[in-house]
Amino acid sequence: MSRMSHRRDLSEHVAAVQRIRSEFARLPDGAPVRLAKPTSNLFRFREPSAAPKLDASAFASVLWVDPEERVAEVGGMCTYEDLVAATLEHGLMPLVVPQLRTITIGGAVTGLGIESSSFRNGLPHESVQEIEILTGNGDVVTARRDNEHAELFRGFPNSYGTLGYSLRLRIELEPVKPFVHLRHLRFSDAAAAMDAFARICDAAEHDGERVDFIDGVAFGPDELYLSLASFTDSAPRTSDYTGADIYYQSIPRLAAQNRGDHLTVQDYLWRWDTDWFWCSRAFGLGNPAVRRMWPRSLKRSDVYRKLVALDRRTDFTRLLAYYRGRPQSEPLIQDIEVPVDRGAEFLDFFHAEVGMTPVWMCPLRLRDKPAPGGDGHAWPLYPMAQDELFVNFGFWGMVPMRPGQRGPLHNRLVEDEVLRLGGHKSLYSDSFYSEDRFWRLYNGDAYRALKRDYDPGSRLLDLYAKCVRNR
């Protein structure tokens, strides 16, 4: 397929940039600025804002794909679902594809993302070459690693739209093969699983077979699985986890049978989206009768999230538990990461103090090195050691509140433990840090310098107000 097959006339994009700048300029002086977004994968639910919103719908497309240079230019509101569909036509994919279809490229860059290729490709923002950003003062700048906006380029990840909004991004791509071969390895204790993560990630192979992807699931303290995946040109047959079968339930079954599995590369990338990992069971999709009646087209993470948002607005689940005389529950929806050699300690703590299962596990290592003369971190608002392997743990659900509990006990316990273990916590969900602790963890000095340069009038929320105060 030709290099130009997905190219658009960039004059449309230029016109869209001019329109959104004009919209911004027409806002009343001092009025807060927000984007109108059709979807969200954040879990900080808040009341609808009366603040005017900028129309960003023109920035939701793939602008072009260059299969020779292995790069793509995309609008900041483009979803990974659309981007993957465009790049796979050329035998390419983004270096890191977050698990959920409707995560946007701009969202994954400003709010971070991770997946099973992160042990070799880092985080999504590390494969970005250039970002066009609408800043808080109404200017549009192009930020790269090596130009006058390099500090904004490096400070944009983990800023969650509080320094500006991405309108266009140029990202690296990598070649794929048509299929993925999976192997699931069982471990009976967390320390052995963490040792295996470290060993396999360092070698990028296991038992003589290359490892292109690796993640894992802890079903309990003595039942953990690492899932290794490798690109392959052919498959004897492929599994389909969009119908009656459920991906996460296949892991222990296939491991017990010492059997591998094959998926198309597209089905592998979206293997978690169909059931929102395992959270679809809250809607009865673990029940075969319910699953048969639920259309395939609605087995999607964005559909489930809308149902959760409706429940939060109506307070249905809490009221139902109250009238049935059942204990209330605390939402615990978080992703954290700790160094691999502290991962077993975190799981021991989590099983003892929280008890929620399953837990997703995904190793990651940064690709980029710190900028010369900087503060020693490649990405200052989410400071991580450059050469260290971390393991991300994801857990999403409700935890029964303890007798006499007031407030987010389990969330605070997790925050304290992650800090003790030298880890980090993503900010897409509820956070409860004090302001002093927050700015120590997320480099308040670097953030405030960028805020002064690119949003001097504070037209955008500040990071603490958005991620902790939930404004």
Q: Which of residues 271, 306, 331 is at a domain's end?
A: 271
Amino acid 420: pLDDT: 97
Number of domains in the chain: 2
Give per-residue pLDDT as tens, 273-302: 999 999 999 889 999 999 999 999 999 998
Amino acid at 388: E
Q: Global pTM?
A: 0.93
Residue 379's pLDDT band (boundaries 50, 70, 90)? very high
Decide if 160 is inside a domain. Answer: yes
Say whether pLDDT at 435 is over 70.
yes
Domain range holding 107? 10-176
Same domain, 190 and 153: no
The 3 state secondary structure assigned to 50-100 is CCCEEECHHHCCEEEEECCCCEEEEECCCEHHHHHHHHHCCCEEECCCCCC
Same domain, 62 and 114: yes
Q: What is the percent of the chain where pLDDT is above 90?
A: 79
Decide if 306 is inside a domain. Answer: no
What Å distances lie between residue 112 and 106, 109, 284, 377, CA to CA? 9, 5, 30, 16
CATH of the domain at 49: 3.30.465.10
Same domain, 267 and 188: yes
Same domain, 257 and 112: no
Say whether pLDDT at 45 is over 60.
no
Decide if 137 is inside a domain. Answer: yes
Same domain, 121 and 140: yes
Same domain, 162 and 252: no
Say whether pLDDT at 243 is over 80.
yes
Contact present, 227 and 176 (Cβ < 8 Å): no
Q: Which of residues 271, 297, 312 is at a domain's end?
A: 271
Decide if 95 is inside a domain. Answer: yes
Same domain, 223 and 257: yes
Q: What is the percent of the chain where pLDDT is above 70?
A: 91
Same domain, 67 and 104: yes
Amino acid 72: pLDDT: 97
CA dist 57 and 130 (Å) reads 20
Say whether pLDDT at 2 is over 50.
no
Amino acid 33: pLDDT: 83
Decide if 45 is inside a domain. Answer: yes
Decide if 43 is inside a domain. Answer: yes
Average pLDDT taken over every residue of the chain: 91
Decide if 96 is inside a domain. Answer: yes
Among 223, 219, 226, which Cα is nearest to 196's?
Answer: 226
Same domain, 37 and 24: yes
Cis peptide before 358 (omega within 30 of 0): yes
Give per-residue pLDDT as tens, 324-363: 667 788 999 999 999 999 999 999 999 999 999 999 999 9
Same domain, 66 and 123: yes
Q: Which of residues 129, 145, 176 is at a domain's end?
A: 176
- Contacts of 53-59 with C-beta under 8 Å, sequence gap 24+, read 54/20, 54/23, 54/24, 54/134, 54/165, 55/19, 55/20, 55/23, 56/20, 56/165, 56/167, 58/12, 58/13, 58/16, 58/19, 58/20, 59/13, 59/16, 59/20, 59/106, 59/167, 59/168
Give per-residue pLDDT as tens, 196-232: 999 999 999 999 999 999 999 999 999 999 999 999 9
Residue 323's pLDDT band (boundaries 50, 70, 90)? low
Residues 6+ apart with CB under 8 A from 165: 35, 54, 56, 76, 106, 110, 133, 134
Same domain, 30 and 109: yes
The three-class DSSP label of residue 342 is helix
Amino acid 316: pLDDT: 60
Please give the average per-residue pLDDT across 139-148, as a whole number.
96
Say whether pLDDT at 133 is over 70.
yes
Amino acid 356: pLDDT: 95
Please give the average per-residue pLDDT across 108-131, as a whole number.
96
Amino acid 36: pLDDT: 76
Residue 35's pLDDT band (boundaries 50, 70, 90)? confident
Decide if 105 is inside a domain. Answer: yes
Same domain, 78 and 148: yes
| DSSP-H helix ranges across 359-459 | 409-420, 435-441, 444-454
Please give the average per-residue pLDDT across 32-55, as a whole number.
70
